[in-house]
Each structure stands twice: as C-alpha cells, then as structure tokens.
Amino acid sequence: MKNLKSKKPALLLIDVQKGFDKHEHWGGNRNNLNAEENMEKLLHLWRQHELPVFHIKHCSLELGSPLAKSDEGNNFKDFIVPQNDEPVIEKEVNSAFIGTNLQNDLKNKNIDTLVLAGLTTDHCVSTTTRMAGNFGFNTYLIEDAVATFDKVGTDGTVYSAQLIHDTAIASLKDEFATIVKTEELQQLLEND
C-alpha cells in the first residue's frame, strides 16, 4: 500500500446522484448516512493532490426510475458536481465498464490504481469493483464512503441495509479489492 500517491490513483465516484435521496424507491432504510460526507472528503483530497477523478452516472432505462435521464434525480448531488476536465462516464447497467469508454480512458492515461466510492454498495459499486479487479486494476474500495438500502428476499424476508452492506464488502475483500476507510486512505496518500 506504500507509494499510493505516486501511482496517481483515479477516484471513481459511482452514481452519487440525487435520485438516491428517494429512499423509499430503493427499499426504505439506508445504512451509512455519513457516506456522502466521506465521498466529499475524498473528492477534496483528490482535487487538492491533483489526482484524476472520474464521475460515473447511472442513466436508467427503467420507466419511472429516479435515475432516468429525464428525471431531476439523474443529476449529481450538489457537492460532487464535476469541475474542469473531470470526465463523466454515463452508463445504463450496473458496471461502469460495460457500454462505456472507462477502461480505455484509464489505460490511455496509464492509470492502474482505482479508488471507488459511491452508491450503492451491493449493486453498481460491487459490480464495478469486481470488474476492476478482474481487469487487473489495483483496486481500493472505501467502505465508509459507500451505502445501500434494505432488501427483500424471495420469501419476503427483509434484510437490513447494514447486513447487505457488510456482506457485499466481505465478498469483495481481498479477492477483488483492498478495503479501507476514508481516514486510512487519507493517511496512505499524505504519508506517501
């Protein structure tokens, strides 16, 4: 984990969009209500160190989705609006790599290390993390800068957002990504 800053890691902010403020649409209860605060810290840190930032935006094709292009919810949350030349990658599926130029853009910029944060832990964050690991990127997932919602199983059992989050993180740990918290990552960058 040493020399993280010298690797010029790219920060991927996944689906940090206003549509996720409609908690009931996504399952009701949400875990980690401080996730956006940590995302903002990461973004500030990346901009301060002039490291690459990629904004991933989900443009849902699902009728009535709060993330549809025609919906206000498709917009980025106010604190995360892209600046200057920070690229926006629009996707229609759970992975930021499918149907987009993300992989080529990263390779063209000689980026081999990724730091991921965003929404939601068990869907687009997990899928993008898995693919990043499979594509050979040195991948870090910031566990306190992601969040998810309650889920209902096939038998009607309600699984808490925290349980869904924790099991998604456990499934990604070590096999697909190095799992760290915002403060740990900040120390890795600033002590480099």
Contact 67, 98 (CB under 8 A): no
Adjacent-strand bridge partners of 183:
none
pLDDT digit string, tens, across residues 166-187: 999 999 999 999 999 999 999 9
pLDDT digit string, tens, across residues 102-137: 999 999 999 999 999 999 999 999 999 999 999 999
Which residue type, as a one-letter code, is found at position 120?
T
Q: What is the mean pLDDT of residues 63-77?
A: 96
pTM of the model: 0.96
pLDDT at position 192, please? 60
Q: What is the mean pLDDT of residues 15-23?
A: 97
Adjacent-strand bridge partners of 75:
none
3-state secondary structure the chain: CCCCHHHCCEEEEECCEHHHHCHHHHCCCECCCCHHHHHHHHHHHHHHCCCCEEEEEECECCCCCCCECCCHHHCECHHHCCCCCCCEEEECCCCCCCCCCHHHHHHHCCCCEEEEEEECHHHHHHHHHHHHHHCCCEEEEEEEEEECECEECCCCCEECHHHHHHHHHHHHECCCEEEECHHHHHHHHHCC
Q: What is the mean pLDDT of residues 157-161?
A: 97
Q: What is the mean pLDDT of residues 142-149?
A: 98
pLDDT at position 2, please? 58
Give me the domains of the chain, ranges plus CATH numbers: 5-190 (3.40.50.850)
